[in-house]
Amino acid sequence: MLSKKVEKALNAQILLEAESSHYYLSMASWAESEGYNGTAEFLYTHSDEERIHMIKLVRFINERGGKALIPSIKEPASKFKSLTEVFSIILKHEELVTSEINKVVDICLSEKDYTTHNFMQWYVAEQLEEEALAKTNVDKLKLMGGDKGALYLFDRDLSAAAKAKPNEKQ
């Protein structure tokens, strides 16, 4: 059985994952409308993954006798200046998600909830990957400095990266 404190922390994490999914969906739509089709594909896939992260939490809370709450989400930004801006926002957002996940892990330890602590390790590992990926993309874009040929290749590589990703399971 989940303690009220852990249940509350996990429910707050549901909102963050839902916001991530919504955010990346909005960015995907922007990228598609700007002709960055590879980036759009990558971001649509990423948005789906965030939804899976959210559902994992919903199901875990309910399975452990808590009550998962499905929150409303505010409208995300829909206009971006450049791909560099998009990936810089993603990096900042993922850093925020990581720090919130660390807080959930802390709460699990203080509540002596080792089952949820164990469950949260999947998120800890996932955040490591997501932050590294966002940082690599920001670094690449900075190096390109707006060069059109390089941007074309970047966009094409992201499409290949989206296709190569193994599908996450719920």
Q: Does 20 bind ligand OFO (CB under 6 A)?
A: yes
Q: How far is the CB of 23 from ligand OFO (least distance, A)?
A: 9
CA end-to-end span of the chain: 21
Q: Does 130 bind ligand OFO (CB under 6 A)?
A: yes
Residue from 53, 83, 86, 89 touching ligand OFO (CB under 6 A): that is: 53
Of 34, 161, 13, 1, which Cα lies nearest the Cα of 96? 13
Nearer to ligand OFO, 85 or 95 (CB): 95
35: tokens are: 């002709």
Q: Does 14 bind ligand OFO (CB under 6 A)?
A: no
Q: How far is the CB of 150 from ligand OFO (least distance, A)?
A: 26
Q: How far is the CB of 121 from ligand OFO (least distance, A)?
A: 14
Q: Under a CB-based contact definition with an 8 Å cutoff, are residues 7 and 47 in contact? A: no
Nearer to ligand OFO, 92 or 142 (CB): 92
Q: Does 26 bind ligand OFO (CB under 6 A)?
A: no
Tell which positions 92-121 bind ligand OFO, by CB under 6 A.
94, 97
Tell me the one-letter amino acid at 75.
E
Nearer to ligand OFO, 122 or 152 (CB): 122
Of 73, 78, 83, 70, which Cα lies nearest the Cα of 10? 70
Q: How far is the CB of 147 from ligand OFO (least distance, A)?
A: 29
Largest CA distance in the chain: 56
Cα–Cα distances in angstroms (integers) from residue 9 to residues 91, 126, 139, in the given order: 22, 18, 33
Nearer to ligand OFO, 89 or 151 (CB): 89
Q: Under a CB-based contact definition with an 8 Å cutoff, are residues 138 and 87 in contact? A: yes
